[in-house]
A and B are shown apart, each in its own frame.
Chain A
Amino acid sequence: DAGITQSPRYKITETGRQVTLMCHQTWSHSYMFWYRQDLGHGLRLIYYSAAADITDKGEVPDGYVVSRSKTENFPLTLESATRSQTSVYFCASSRTGTSGGTYNEQFFGPGTRLTVL
Chain B
Amino acid sequence: AQKITQTQPGMFVQEKEAVTLDCTYDTSDPSYGLFWYKQPSSGEMIFLIYQGSYDQQNATEGRYSLNFQKARKSANLVISASQLGDSAMYFCAISNDGYQLIWGAGTKLIIKP
Contact = CB atoms under 8 A, between A and B. Distances in A.
B44 A45 contact: no
B43 A110 contact: yes
B98 to A, nearest CB: 2
Interface string B75-113: 000000000000000010101011111011110000000
A3 B63 CA distance: 25
B47 A105 contact: yes
Given A42-B91, A90-B45, A104 B52 contact: no
A96 B98 contact: yes
A98 B98 contact: yes
B106 A101 contact: no
Contacts, number: 65
Given A88-B43, A98-B98, A110-B43, A105 B35 contact: yes
B31 interface: yes
Contacts of A58: 100
Nearest to A97: B98
Given A101-B54, A106-B47, A48 B106 contact: no
Contacts of A97: 97-99
A109 B96 CA distance: 23
